[in-house]
Structure 1
Amino acid sequence: MMRPPGEPFRTGDKVEVSIDKEGFRGSWYEARVARFMPNLALYTIDYETIVVDTQDCRPLRETVPASNVRPRPPYLGAAWGERYAIHQLVDAYHNEGWWTGAVSEVRGEQYSVFFPSTGETIAFRPSEVRAHLDWVNDRWVVPDPKRMTKTEFREGRLVEVSSDEEGFCGAWFTATIIQLIGKKKFLVEYKDLKTDDETEFLKERVDSLHIRPTPPAIPVPEKFNLLEEIDAFHNDGWWEGVISKVLGGSKYIVYFRHFNEELEFGHEDLRLHYDWIDGRWLRRTSQALLGW
């Protein structure tokens, strides 16, 4: 039975789960819901393809944020044609999960898929590849290739940069592009991060997967709501979090799921959280975050 839009997943529902750990970002794993904890916005799930360890073949059970859980996408086959096209975004089944990449070559009954996150190209059978869809605002969205290539990252442009290094998951740092390096790499200078000796602003090479425009200048609401997704300015960057408690005096307790930590912030250090998806800014509502 299909889950009605806006309602939480039920026990036994088939879902996919993302894992916020180094080496797993960008992948989704098939699982079933074991329990929903609405007050904490958490699901306990049993993976269908990941086991406890090599000696124990029971399905691994984990408790994960509701924002890391989505329905399983509809099967579209090659979508809009009998075969996947060169450069088409797809998900490929690899290492027990679905990883996003782009078709780089079609040879006979095999697709070569390039994974930007690792730089690898791997061959897959048709049964191991599916059309890529994004789960946005409680519905499946087909990526628009034209929109994805519209954004122009040029020298002098103000951007935000993320990092896969341990301890930086969920953070974006403001920077300026100072040099283009080929088609997919940039030399940036950070606005707030400095070198170890504090003498100048840090410069770093980044790839296109870790760079985005600065979010739109949307007015901050007079008051943030409980469980609202926000970004908090902390340690020279904007960190993704959730309002876990509304205090008096325009103060809030923010929960950072990447570190399982809570900190207090003033209203002036918070902004609405937006995701940069397929060349446009999208905002997840608290209902979408919780599955309501």
Structure 2
Amino acid sequence: MPRKPKPFPISSNTSFFEPGSTVEVSPDEPGFHGSFYLATIISPCRSGSFLVEYKTLVGNSSEGSEPLREVVSLAELRPLPPPETKWDFRVGGEVEAYYNDGWWEGVVKKDLGNGKFAVFFEDSEEQIVFTKKDLRLHRNWVNGKWVPPFEDSESEEGKIVPVTMKCNKETRPERFSKGTIVEVSSDEDGFQGAWFTATVLEAAEKDKFLVEYQSLTTDDESEFAREEIDILHIRPAPPETFVVGRFDLLDEVDALYNDGWWLGIISKVLRGSKYEVYFRDTKEAMVFQHSELRLHQDWIGGKWVMASRI
């Protein structure tokens, strides 16, 4: 008779999600990837999930429309970001735009002047114009920390006190010389969240580079594949990070799979230096050896940013 699995451990991060707390929910459903909706925690449920009530989404009932309620996982929740003021949006910068009752991840493609910006959304391949008041800088909530962090402090009650964000330094496109080892991403279906190692062969047209992959080959497998990549889908090779001991539950990691590094979250710590990693985009979980994982880092504003570990 198989042994009954242990309940999924609840992280100390759940202290941010007490009943009555205002949160943002990123639904793990097709068509909603990269969006965040304002909600209120109603109550915790089993296995680390929570019942929430949305503030902008409604559901249908016998008595008409009313605020939508649903059960969401811990991985779909984050606290309400502190307010911030006086920042500049730069071309190529990651932002969140308020659209269709939620905040959606995008990239600034053009500064149109007069406080207007053209924002491109990779998942839908749409470009929409927004005013500055409907934009905010994009951040990730990882292991109880905002990445990149807010310049904040804590009050005696432990709540975040907003301060002015300093974003006056201009962000310039990265220039990659011939022979530079880089990592390349793709917007194609089935490849979101993956980075593949490549070598820069030469600069192509404006903000594009010709690269040769180190693990991907041509269709006939006779040679390594070459491709022109735009600046938004290329980054330097991240510095090596060494985890002494073991990875922790809910660590955000890159897993080496199918010749690339794929973004996932440690969902179980197993015996024998093995880990179960959950991939949000595909809703799949797979087991990896310690040597097949690295701590996830983001290339933001010309610097590598890593979430603080609990």
Q: TM-score range by the shorter chain?
A: 0.7 to 0.9
Distance 1:251 1:27, change over 3 A: closer
Matched with 1:265 is 288
Question: Per-residue deviation at 1:286?
Answer: 5.0
Q: Does 1:112 align with 2:116?
A: yes
Q: Does 1:234 align with 2:257?
A: yes
Match of 1:11 among 15, 19, 26: 19
Instruction: Please say if residues 134 and 140 of structure 1, whose CA atoms lie closer than 8 Å, have aligned partners that are also in contact.
Output: no
Match of 1:94 among 99, 118, 140: 99
Q: Does 1:224 align with 2:231?
A: no
Q: Residues 157-196 of structure 1: matches in 2 within 5 Å?
A: 157-196=180-219
Matched with 1:274 is 297
Question: Per-residue deviation at 1:119?
Answer: 6.8
Question: Per-residue deviation at 1:174?
Answer: 1.0
Residues in 2 aligned to 1:185 and 1:44: alpha-carbon distance in whole angstroms: 45
Question: Per-residue deviation at 1:149?
Answer: 2.5
Residues in 1 aligned to 2:89 and 2:297: alpha-carbon distance in whole angstroms: 30
Question: Per-residue deviation at 1:123?
Answer: 5.0
Distance 1:184 1:29, change over 3 A: farther
Q: Does 1:284 align with 2:291?
A: no
Report the 3-state secondary structure (helix = DSSP H, G, I; strand = E; otherwise coil) of the residue aligned with 1:7.
Answer: helix
Distance 1:143 1:230, change over 3 A: farther
Structure 2, unmatched stretches of 5+, are 1-12, 152-164
Residues in 2 aligned to 1:145 and 1:182: alpha-carbon distance in whole angstroms: 29
Distance 1:217 1:97, change over 3 A: same
Residues in 1 aligned to 2:232 and 2:92: alpha-carbon distance in whole angstroms: 17
Match of 2:177 among 133, 143, 154: 154
Matched with 2:160 is none
Structure 1, unmatched stretches of 5+, are 288-292
TM-align CA RMSD: 3.6
Distance 1:154 1:140, change over 3 A: same
Distance 1:150 1:166, change over 3 A: closer
Q: Does 1:203 align with 2:233?
A: no
What code does the residue aligned with 1:248 have?
R
Question: Per-residue deviation at 1:39?
Answer: 5.5
Instruction: Please say if residues 90 and 171 of structure 2, whose CA atoms lie closer than 8 Å, have aligned partners that are also in contact.
Output: no
Q: Residues 20-169 of structure 1: matches in 2 within 5 Å?
A: 26-36=34-44, 40=48, 42-51=49-58, 57-58=65-66, 59=68, 61=70, 63-66=72-75, 69-74=78-83, 76=85, 79=86, 91-99=96-104, 100-102=106-108, 104-107=111-114, 111-117=115-121, 118=125, 120=127, 122=129, 124=131, 128-132=133-137, 134=139, 137-138=145-146, 139-140=149-150, 142=165, 144=167, 146=169, 148-149=171-172, 151-169=174-192
TM-score for both structures, normalised by structure 2: 0.70
Distance 1:204 1:44, change over 3 A: farther
Question: Per-residue deviation at 1:258?
Answer: 2.4
Residues in 2 aligned to 1:92 and 1:135: alpha-carbon distance in whole angstroms: 15
TM-score for both structures, normalised by structure 1: 0.73
Residues in 1 aligned to 2:129 and 2:54: alpha-carbon distance in whole angstroms: 24
What code does the residue aligned with 2:118 have?
F
Which structure has more relative contact order (CA 8 Å, sep 6+)? It is: 1
Distance 1:255 1:279, change over 3 A: same
Question: Per-residue deviation at 1:194?
Answer: 1.5
Residues in 2 aligned to 1:266 and 1:134: alpha-carbon distance in whole angstroms: 29
Instruction: Please say if residues 101 and 113 of structure 1, whose CA atoms lie closer than 8 Å, have aligned partners that are also in contact.
Output: no
Residues in 2 aligned to 1:29 and 1:247: alpha-carbon distance in whole angstroms: 34
**For this pair of structures, how many residues does the alignment match?**
271
Residues 170-216 of structure 1 deviation map (CA, whole Å, 9 limit, x = unaligned):
22111122233334333322111122221222223333222221111
Distance 1:255 1:133, change over 3 A: closer
Instruction: Please say if residues 117 and 129 of structure 2, whose CA atoms lie closer than 8 Å, have aligned partners that are also in contact.
Output: yes
